[in-house]
Structure 1
């Protein structure tokens, strides 16, 4: 069967993991985020991941800043997307949901995001059937991937993958590159 669970909270990773028993979760994939807030509140409401209210099984986490936020947000609002915050990650998830709802594949959506979104970013998207990453054209934010026999992981920071996978081999995502994986 198919199910989706979102956990949004603030605090240290190990405390949240223990509180929600994250290591015992079963599934095909997941996304997570630790955030240093620079532009919005520090509370559960502003914590990542963000999900689209139109397509709630699409989630996004992101490291960076979308500098053309209002240019992207205004047309989405005119199309009926409802925003709960002024966080740029929420804008990204609505952008992604809009593209996917019009038949774009995840890879095509991520390629469009690299063209349409300005500023430094690494975006990680989770859908019911896959996961993907997009990195800004100039590569101003990190984006990496690694795998071992049990796990394939994408992150914006190399250290997080080395800790989780206990590996030294981490592949860098190139500036402007997108990758998507069907599960």
Structure 2
């Protein structure tokens, strides 16, 4: 089962893995509840069948993926409280990056190896926002908190006339 969400521009559909996970988790909880609904106890036993409590999906460690628009990200980068991560390929990064970003290509992005101990909020971006959404989903699942990524990617950033910096050596 795959759920779909409409992008903020409303022009395309893309898989929404988090929604699919929530739906599957809910279906699994309902299946377990149904299994226990007919549980019988012997008459000489003092135990009663367990009552099934609703499943709280938020406690299942599923962080959310949120989009941030270019103007809001520009303001956030000024605060020095953000760790901006570019998940594009080496070739794409050679064409320019958002100033202050670090590069970790999506195929090398491993949330378990990402040191987040400095307290800065990780914000991810790519060319259009598809790959950064994938990386943000992985990171959100790992840390169990919401993770933001740039809506429209560096293309939207560039379209707003915001600064791009070419890396010195790549």
- Say which structure is richer in strand: 1
- Say which structure is richer in helix: 2
User: TM (normalized to structure 1)?
Assistant: 0.26
Task: Look at both structures and tell me which one has the larger radius of gyration over its CA atoms.
Answer: 2
